[in-house]
Structure 1
Amino acid sequence: MPAECPVLRERRGGHAPEVGAIELFFDLVYVFAVIQLSHFLLEHLTVVGVAETVVLFLAVWWGWNYTAWAMNWLNPENATVRALLALLMLFALGMAVALPSAFADEALLFATAYVLLQLVRSGFMVWACRGTQLGANYAKLLTWSALAGVVWIAGALADSDDRLWIWALAAVIDYAAPMARFAVPGFGTAPMPTWPLHSEHLAERNRLVFLIALGESILIMGFTLTDIELTAPVVAATVIGFAGLVLLWWNYFGYRITVERESDPEGARQTEIARSAFAYAHAVMVAGAIVLAVSIEQVTAHPLDHLDAPVVGCIAGGPVLYLVGNLIYIRARTGNLALSRVLVACLIVALAILALTTGIFTPIALAGATTLCMLGMAVYSSAIRAQVGVA
């Protein structure tokens, strides 16, 4: 990599580059995007609505994920890089603004903003890393993003009845690219070991975006409480929701990775591991935090109402999604299976089935039961100090 290029970070041995202030500034747009996604899901609690939310989330996440990876190499103190991130923020803001009507009147705004976010960033990286392996890699990534972009724009221009499946195809192309090693016929592939990476920088970026997703639950809780009467059931639901939020944080930050695959001196699999642990696993965990936010709003506003399938799905789905993502994360970084996560996820699924088939739970009761499951896992993990291969 050309060290004389001022837009690139200086590689300082094994030290991970610090997260720059401009990176944190960029993340502020995603506070708004996460709120928009949770509100979209809240207003579309149907099978189709959930599918639409998933597609929108995949685009929002991939835009953030590729930006976080690019900043592993870009110098956040450089004026050109800061201008780039400001432009990318504008595109991300366009996506976020369009989210509520992305499958209606704002489809073209959403798709155009997303495609520009992906193409401009990758194009900049091709220029910044010209003449290097990384530059060639980004050229292949740019090709895949352009291919997916054609499908995103086609979906925006298509009839609204066809938009979901077309955009789902576009998301598949985007997410399959790294698995296919960004292969371009006639130009070869970009294997993961050819992407030099400081995984700790990426880990810190993902920790911060997970906190953003958790913070969105706090906002929803606060807004909900200002609009309803603070009865005893509402207060109890608030306490349970807050406890569930804290436990999600506790279980995320309480599991210490003590032995990592990428600790080998060659780091041959470091980037491949980072792809699974951060690009994919954290997507599932952040999605879990978003669903948790929706369930907090539902339970707080209607703690004693009859439970229907969408509400059960949200109450159980948030923790289960988080646990699945956490399993992938731990498996990727250590090679071990966190059995406590498997057990608790199965227990929460069993509670959801019981709630749907018997009708013995109210929303607050099911939320309390799932929170107790997460509490048990937190206590267990803390008691054994999260020993890898045991927790």
Structure 2
Amino acid sequence: MTESNHDWLRKDDVQSTKASFPELFFDLVFVFALIQLSETLASDFSIGIAAEAILFIFALWWVWIHTTWVTNLLDTEIEPVRLLLFVLMFCGIVLAIALPKAFTDMGLVFALAYSAMQLIRSLFALYAFRGTDAASFMTFFRITAWLAVSSALWIAGGLAEPQMRATLWIAALAIEYAGPAMRYWVPSIGASPPETLDISGEHLAERCALFVIIALGETILTTGKNAASHMDNAGTPLVLCCAFLSTIVMWWIYFHDGQEKAADKAEETAQPQATAQYLFTYGHLPIVAGIILTAVGEDFSLSHPQEEGSYTYAPALLGGPILFLAGTAWMKTVSSRFIPYSHAAGVILLAACFLSVPFIANFAIQVLATAILLFVAVWEYVALRRRMPRAA
């Protein structure tokens, strides 16, 4: 008996809410992509390179989170869905290889790999829902139409000169990021009705948490590799300890009182699709971007510990933790309706540290950033402990 595309949909059982081995295998490509991005930034962190990196962070997150939405709806233990992930993995490897030179001689390769991942995945989902779920089918029809427009801009940018390339790629990303907010409105068809996709909020929360672990793991890998090549510097042991501690503290801040509440909120809400969009699709972007920029700042402080601070590198050394705290504060506020004042205080303190940048060395900026992150974690831990008896 042949397998119908109806059998490709995710089953409603306990196991279906857990990340599958094919999904975890797929994530390995993004470990490579994040390492490529981090090393490119650390080697030449100028304002122009930083702007390009922001574009790449937006692109990598968007292709990953949209693939996660599709695997949330489909059964990844079925062979056709596994084959889809393998194809996307190969395209992801090509994309990661081209990333460091995307604004020089490999722009078209990057654009083709990115567009292929977006369109192949969307067309596959379109076929999977054909004849099984009319509302979901039309939603993916709209998504495919939007991605076709953005892909044309990606490819046109890959063929253009670097300055025009950036403009076209920013326009492509703007279209893609506006899509969910506008419910993929298409002329003559209109916008997709709300809550058309039967998603599992718990599964999305777990997948996003795993991507945060990937980003934190990439931080440890690149920091360890950079420290090994700079052990002759007197400040390396101190910066390495701070870098490792800041990674642990970021893990603690995200997982100790944030991730589980986000999963509960996504699973228990009456509007799972809308909640997942602003809690995960959009809400996790600053968290991931903050971790990546923090890793870049740690790499730079390892390679130039005694060098006087500069506003060229401060956006990574201090801006990364600011983005991370702002993102986790948003996630926790949405999940629990309780504003984490510790995070707000951390953002203010980190922003104030920008005033001291020209007067202290890079390793001192790193120590300050780590101390503030630790202060936030301790404050939140104590506040939560005090609230527990009242809740009981």
TM-score after normalising by structure 1: 0.92
**Structure-1 residue corresponding to 2:198:** 196
Give 1:154-233 correspondences, 5 Å limit.
154-233=156-235
**Structure-1 residue corresponding to 2:11:** 10
Q: Aligned equivalents of 1:107 and 1:258: distance in 2?
A: 40
Give 1:240-319 correspondences, 5 Å limit.
240-256=242-258, 258=261, 261-262=265-266, 267-319=269-321
**Structure-1 residue corresponding to 2:378:** 379
**Structure-1 residue corresponding to 2:22:** 22
Verify: 1:350 aligned to 2:352, yes or no. yes
The alignment partner of 1:377 has SS state of: helix
- Letter of the structure 2 residue corresponding to residue 224 of structure 1: N
User: How far 1:303 moved relative to its partner?
Assistant: 1.4
The alpha-carbon distance between structure 1 residues 217 and 258, as it changes in their structure 2 partners (threshold 3 A), is closer
User: How far 1:16 moved relative to its partner?
Assistant: 5.3
The alignment partner of 1:185 has SS state of: coil
- Provide structure 2 residue ranges, at least 5 long, that are not aligned to the other structure: none
User: How far 1:314 moved relative to its partner?
Assistant: 1.2
In 2, are the aligned partners of 1:3 and 1:10 still within 8 Å (CA)? no
RMSD: 2.1
User: How far 1:57 moved relative to its partner?
Assistant: 1.5
The alpha-carbon distance between structure 1 residues 316 and 17, as it changes in their structure 2 partners (threshold 3 A), is same
**Structure-1 residue corresponding to 2:334:** 332
In 1, are the aligned partners of 2:230 and 2:302 still within 8 Å (CA)? no
The alignment partner of 1:6 has SS state of: helix
Q: Aligned equivalents of 1:382 and 1:338: distance in 2?
A: 11
In 2, are the aligned partners of 1:141 and 1:177 still within 8 Å (CA)? yes
The alpha-carbon distance between structure 1 residues 185 and 88, as it changes in their structure 2 partners (threshold 3 A), is same
The alpha-carbon distance between structure 1 residues 68 and 376, as it changes in their structure 2 partners (threshold 3 A), is same
In 1, are the aligned partners of 2:154 and 2:172 still within 8 Å (CA)? yes
Per-residue Cα deviation, 1:322-341 (whole angstroms, up to 9, x for no partner):
01211222233234432221
In 1, are the aligned partners of 2:111 and 2:155 still within 8 Å (CA)? yes
Q: Aligned equivalents of 1:81 and 1:263: distance in 2?
A: 24
- Provide structure 1 residue ranges, at least 5 long, that are not aligned to the other structure: none
Greater alpha carbon shift after TM alignment, 98-107 vs 183-192: 183-192
Q: Aligned equivalents of 1:377 and 1:60: distance in 2?
A: 29
In 2, are the aligned partners of 1:276 and 1:328 still within 8 Å (CA)? no
User: How far 1:229 moved relative to its partner?
Assistant: 3.1
Per-residue Cα deviation, 1:66-120 (whole angstroms, up to 9, x for no partner):
1111111111111111111000111111110100000111001100011110101
**Structure-2 residue corresponding to 1:62:** 62
The alpha-carbon distance between structure 1 residues 201 and 363, as it changes in their structure 2 partners (threshold 3 A), is same
TM-score after normalising by structure 2: 0.92
Q: Aligned equivalents of 1:36 and 1:183: distance in 2?
A: 35
Q: Aligned equivalents of 1:143 and 1:283: distance in 2?
A: 24
Q: Aligned equivalents of 1:319 and 1:166: distance in 2?
A: 30
**Structure-2 residue corresponding to 1:107:** 107
In 2, are the aligned partners of 1:261 and 1:335 still within 8 Å (CA)? no
Q: Aligned equivalents of 2:71 and 2:192: distance in 1?
A: 19
**Structure-1 residue corresponding to 2:323:** 321
Verify: 1:36 aligned to 2:46, yes or no. no
**Structure-1 residue corresponding to 2:75:** 75
User: How far 1:375 moved relative to its partner?
Assistant: 0.8
Report the number of matched residues.
382
Per-residue Cα deviation, 1:126-179 (whole angstroms, up to 9, x for no partner):
110113111111111111111111111111111122111111111100100000
In 2, are the aligned partners of 1:63 and 1:117 still within 8 Å (CA)? yes
Q: Aligned equivalents of 2:234 and 2:159: distance in 1?
A: 50
